Structure 1
Amino acid sequence: MSPLSLDLSPDLFPALTEAQADPDGPGAHRPALRFGDRSLTYGELAATASPLAARVAEAGRIAVWATPTLETAVAVVAALLAGVPAVPLNPKSGESELGHIVSDSAPTLVLAAQGTQLPSALAALERLAIDIDTSAPATSLPSPGTSDPETPALIVYTSGTTGPPKGAVIPRRAIATTLDALADAWQWTGDDVLVHGLPLFHVHGLILGILGPLRRGGSVRHLGRFETAGVARELSEGATMLFGVPTMYHRIAETLPDDPALAKALARARLLVSGSAALPVHDHERIAQATGRRVIERYGMTETLMNTSVRADGEPRAGTVGVPLPGVELRLTEEDGTTAVEAYDGETVGEIQVRGPNLFTEYLNRPEATAAAFTEDGWFRTGDMAVRDPDGYVRIVGRKATDLIKSGGYKIGAGEIENALLEHPGVREAAVTGEPDADLGERIVAWIVPADPQSPPTVDELADHVARRLAPHKRPRVVHHLDALPRNDMGKIMKRALTHD
């Protein structure tokens, strides 16, 4: 592993500064952002973002209506140039959720593309239309409002599965260190061209997918909306990296047998990265078989940005999220939250705790929630359960609240059972939960979307299938057949919505 030099200067985008300093130089003409048929070079991005940054420099906090457009990228870059915290808003959020976020974060402005219809929850905010005019005369890039790396850069709201969404305050330090650590792990340079079709209101799509290429001096091509044809086109036309979530890679795996052009394009990619949820091993193997390339996984969350990844120069092993990134400390703990799990046996389950410069500062206006999220010695409690293989690779087996099943004296992670179920030819999608059992404590319940709804696999068939691959105590005792699994915008299965009623 190469040594990592972390740049904690206020300049998050050196290539943008260089383009501004030499508007006729080659750096200014390098492509930076492309959304469909609209694009900006680094020189054009500087000319567009700098006057916007000057306009918001005294605004306090600003909200950004985070559609998957060029305007969103420009707005966030402008906020970061000005040193003003930005609050990305999910355009699919309901009125009550938007109302809570606006009330909680108290932005003074909302930035949106011209002509955008905004919901009534934002009516009280002053609106600033984003005008992308590359013909405007260039102005100097503003100096960030502070040189303090702890200054808030983004306030990103969590999904709020256990109450109203909480605003995670992400400092400039966390963005810089995470992106530099990923550059080390992925050998990410300014020569890379990233393609993705993720939303821009969360960490994966915005920080990794937009700010990541800009920090490296490379470029990003956003599809606007994910389509396998778009992936094939961009990777065939010079893109080197693809970021996606498991639902996207599942669609790719389903499409590959009948689309040789897609297989050829994926084979040309330098790096295929999946995140935000576990990618089923079955999809890993189908993609690898069709393309000769393996998808690598990384692990992060809103509060920590990125924690681990399979390295570009490491073994791309399916079902793992690799090793801790440079600068990140990771430990597994027992249920008491303090006793360390020392085993590297691939079997002993513990909760992941992390600490390092990648962490958020606080939950906005929630000091009690912030305090509860950390141990006394400064480790962040992720709530994710994992095991460690002998070589240090981390394998996540589920969430502590929904995926840790205690059955017959065993601690079982739902994730490995889900992977086993997906290897059955009669299973298209699978989720596993636990429910109370008088004898076992909890029994394992499988929620299945069958490949053939007219002939779904039986509980005995699936129980035998899992028992052969894992262990008898990990077999499902109950099976429910569904038309589809409930998922959020990122493709994560919402297990709390899986009920017997």
Structure 2
Amino acid sequence: MGASLESIPLLPLFQEAKKYAEQDPNKIAVIDRTKGQSFTYRQLLGDVSATKKWLLEKAGLESTGDLEERRISFLVPNGYDYVTMQWAVWAAGGVCVPLCTTHPVKELLYTIGDSQPSLVVIHPTFEKVEAQLREHVDAIPFVTFEPLSAASEPSNLSLPPFSDSLSVDRRALMIYTSGTTSNPKGCVTTHKNITFQASSLVNAWEYSPSDHLIHVLPLHHIHGIINGLTASFLSGATVEMYPKFDPKTIWERWQDKGSSTMFFAVPTIYSRLVDYFDAHIRGTEQEAAAREGARALRLIVSGSAALPTPIKSRFLEITGQTLLERYGMTEIGMAISCGLDVEKRLDGSVGWPLPGVQVRLADKETGKIIEGVDEDGIIEVKGDNVFLEYWNRPEATAKEFTADGWFKTGDVARRAANGAYYIQGRASVDLIKTGGYKVSALEVERKMLGLDSVQEVAVVGVPDDEWGQRVAAIVKQRPGTAPLNLDDLRRQLKEEMAPYKVPTILRVVDAIERNAMGKVNKKDLLKKYWPDA
């Protein structure tokens, strides 16, 4: 990618990274477990500079030195290469469109087609996927990312020059929503939004340069990008990155007591950690070290889905850790969080508004602001954390805001007398939260109706202690087709959708009840087929 150093704009994130690189040339920013290498803040800034130059050349904009908010899609695995790619796009003045490493080709093509990037950057890890994408994308150039290696003497590396060339009001990141009521939308945030979201967490959760985060979350998602990467780097912490979550690896890692301080995950991960402990560690020689190691972490956070009380209680029994719960979404980052003090981690609550974030409740039908306590209302949010726009969808953007500028989340909550919020669920039953992901029941239904054997279908979320909800499909089969079973259904749908969206429960019925308007009452279906849930 070239040896000469391009200037890096003094965006807040880069300014802080420069400070840590100058204070300690050996300060580690990223430990990449796939590569088995560590990378300093100093090397990170140098690699970002070189990658910026490479991006501008590939985009044909080396003479201007600015991507001018052009979108750059990239498919890069979790690790140092991802961080460098993300920062290089920002340094060049572009907008990051990270692609999900587990999505099937059809979903990747949708994201690329909708965002219309100037470049699609593919890591060699995804060489086979690249070949399939290229078959369907003609007008957008593809380029291959060259994997990076740790320098032998990182402290001797020179820092690149810095400039004040970019405004924090520039568009910076486009993350796609789950497509609850329509196709997924590109949610655009600015550098100002990103910095505010991360700084708010740094303030509330007290990140510091002494922190060491074990990072296992996907990086096409707000949780992994902002909570995991941006807030950590803004505070000079070290991020140890793994390609995916494995309970055995995490328990072994925690037994190195005191070598890590933070862990962020979704409820499904904590369920798997508990199950692994009970099956493989409890009663063995490792038990004491595992318990003590987990207890030594200063902060363990659960989010992206409701945390079932049984999982929270079992994790507390094993580790002595009361999981901290918070509430956020793609459009707003994190908005509400329980406190660092254990006394402020209330069971069933997501806590209080984060620093600088305004939160209110409004009546779903009238829009009237709810001032009292213990009343259900739609959560509305205002502040510098709130996104700029849905890409190329001005009407959809305007629809999600009130006349006085508050974002309508679509989630229902109650506020207690102490000001803490308790999430009651989505205003619509068509959003299923499973394993930390949001799944659109309508999207799954659309895909299933494309199968020859499916005549009618209703998709619902069945409550589950491990997953939060499981995706369940109630199907009226098309006459004359071969009998439908769950294994065949899942195999067909995995070619169309991400694995977490594919139903894990199937009920084949003679008819799906509808009202006079032809609509299905999904609450009635849940009561009929899963009365105990």
TM-score by length of 2: 0.72
Provide closer, same or farther for how the CA distance between residues 489 and 226 of structure 1 changes in structure 2, counting only shifts above 3 A.
farther
Question: 1:68-107 to 2 correspondence within 5 Å?
Answer: 68-107=78-117
Contact 2:29 2:238 (C-alpha < 8 Å) held by counterparts: yes
Distance in 2, matches of 1:169 and 1:498, equals 36
Distance in 1, matches of 2:369 and 2:504, equals 29
Alignment correspondent of 1:460: none
Alignment correspondent of 1:198: 217
- Tell me whether 77-86 or 357-366 shows the greater mean CA deviation: 77-86
Contact 1:66 1:200 (C-alpha < 8 Å) held by counterparts: no
Contact 2:326 2:350 (C-alpha < 8 Å) held by counterparts: yes
Distance in 2, matches of 1:205 and 1:288, equals 24
Provide closer, same or farther for how the CA distance between residues 78 and 497 of structure 1 changes in structure 2, counting only shifts above 3 A.
farther
Distance in 1, matches of 2:306 and 2:461, equals 17
Question: 1:57-68 to 2 correspondence within 5 Å?
Answer: 57=56, 58-59=66-67, 60-68=70-78
Alignment correspondent of 1:438: none
Distance in 2, matches of 1:210 and 1:72, equals 10
Report the residue type matching 1:254 in the other structure: D
Contact 2:37 2:150 (C-alpha < 8 Å) held by counterparts: no
The reply to whether residue 320 of structure 1 matches residue 330 of structure 2 is no
SS in 1 for 2:126: coil
Alignment correspondent of 1:28: 25
Residue deviations 1:225-256 (CA, integer Å, cap 9, x gap): 21223223333431101000110011122233
Distance in 2, matches of 1:63 and 1:106, equals 9
Contact 1:56 1:84 (C-alpha < 8 Å) held by counterparts: no
Contact 1:48 1:134 (C-alpha < 8 Å) held by counterparts: no
Provide closer, same or farther for how the CA distance between residues 449 and 242 of structure 1 changes in structure 2, counting only shifts above 3 A.
closer
Report the residue type matching 1:374 in the other structure: F
Residue deviations 1:104-151 (CA, integer Å, cap 9, x gap): 2121122233453125335542314133144496461554641x2221
Provide closer, same or farther for how the CA distance between residues 78 and 372 of structure 1 changes in structure 2, counting only shifts above 3 A.
same
Question: 1:100-499 to 2 correspondence within 5 Å?
Answer: 100-114=110-124, 116-117=126-127, 118-122=130-134, 123=137, 124-135=140-151, 138=158, 140-143=160-163, 145-146=165-166, 148-237=167-256, 238-258=259-279, 259=281, 260=287, 261-313=289-341, 315-336=344-365, 338-345=367-374, 348-402=375-429, 447=462
Q: Percent identity?
A: 32
Alignment correspondent of 1:474: none
Distance in 1, matches of 2:339 and 2:146, equals 38
Provide closer, same or farther for how the CA distance between residues 489 and 68 of structure 1 changes in structure 2, counting only shifts above 3 A.
farther
Alpha-carbon RMSD: 3.2
Contact 1:335 1:351 (C-alpha < 8 Å) held by counterparts: yes
Distance in 1, matches of 2:502 and 2:428, equals 12
Q: After TM superposition, give the deviation of residue 489 of structure 1 in Å.
A: 6.7
Report the residue type matching 1:244 in the other structure: A
Report the residue type matching 2:358 in the other structure: E
Q: After TM superposition, give the deviation of residue 264 of structure 1 in Å.
A: 2.3
Q: After TM superposition, give the deviation of residue 38 of structure 1 in Å.
A: 2.5
Distance in 2, matches of 1:271 and 1:113, equals 33
Provide closer, same or farther for how the CA distance between residues 100 and 115 of structure 1 changes in structure 2, counting only shifts above 3 A.
closer
Report the residue type matching 1:179 in the other structure: A
Distance in 2, matches of 1:133 and 1:257, equals 38
Provide closer, same or farther for how the CA distance between residues 489 and 210 of structure 1 changes in structure 2, counting only shifts above 3 A.
farther
Alignment correspondent of 1:441: none
Q: After TM superposition, give the deviation of residue 14 of structure 1 in Å.
A: 3.2
Q: After TM superposition, give the deviation of residue 496 of structure 1 in Å.
A: 12
Alignment correspondent of 1:45: 44
Provide closer, same or farther for how the CA distance between residues 324 and 497 of structure 1 changes in structure 2, counting only shifts above 3 A.
farther
Provide closer, same or farther for how the CA distance between residues 448 and 355 of structure 1 changes in structure 2, counting only shifts above 3 A.
closer
Distance in 1, matches of 2:95 and 2:194, equals 13
Provide closer, same or farther for how the CA distance between residues 354 and 217 of structure 1 changes in structure 2, counting only shifts above 3 A.
same
Report the residue type matching 2:17 in the other structure: L
SS in 1 for 2:213: strand
Distance in 1, matches of 2:220 and 2:465, equals 33
Question: Which structure has more RCO (C-alpha within 8 Å, separation ≥ 6)?
Answer: 2
Residue deviations 1:361-415 (CA, integer Å, cap 9, x gap): 00000000000010111110101111112111111111111189xxxxxxxxx99
Distance in 1, matches of 2:251 and 2:399, equals 45
Alignment correspondent of 2:446: none
Distance in 2, matches of 1:175 and 1:39, equals 25
Contact 1:65 1:112 (C-alpha < 8 Å) held by counterparts: yes
Consecutive unaligned residues in structure 2, runs of 5 or more: 1-9, 57-65, 282-286, 435-459, 467-485, 510-533
Q: After TM superposition, give the deviation of residue 62 of structure 1 in Å.
A: 1.0
Contact 1:14 1:217 (C-alpha < 8 Å) held by counterparts: no
TM-score by length of 1: 0.76
Provide closer, same or farther for how the CA distance between residues 204 and 119 of structure 1 changes in structure 2, counting only shifts above 3 A.
farther
Residue deviations 1:146-168 (CA, integer Å, cap 9, x gap): 1x222111111111132221000
Report the residue type matching 1:312 in the other structure: L
SS in 2 for 1:154: strand
Contact 2:119 2:141 (C-alpha < 8 Å) held by counterparts: yes
Residue deviations 1:422-479 (CA, integer Å, cap 9, x gap): xxxxxxxxxxxxxxxxxxxxxxx9946699xxxxxxxxxxxxxxxxxxxxxxxxxxxx
Provide closer, same or farther for how the CA distance between residues 242 and 159 of structure 1 changes in structure 2, counting only shifts above 3 A.
same
- Tell me whether 367-376 or 179-188 shows the greater mean CA deviation: 179-188
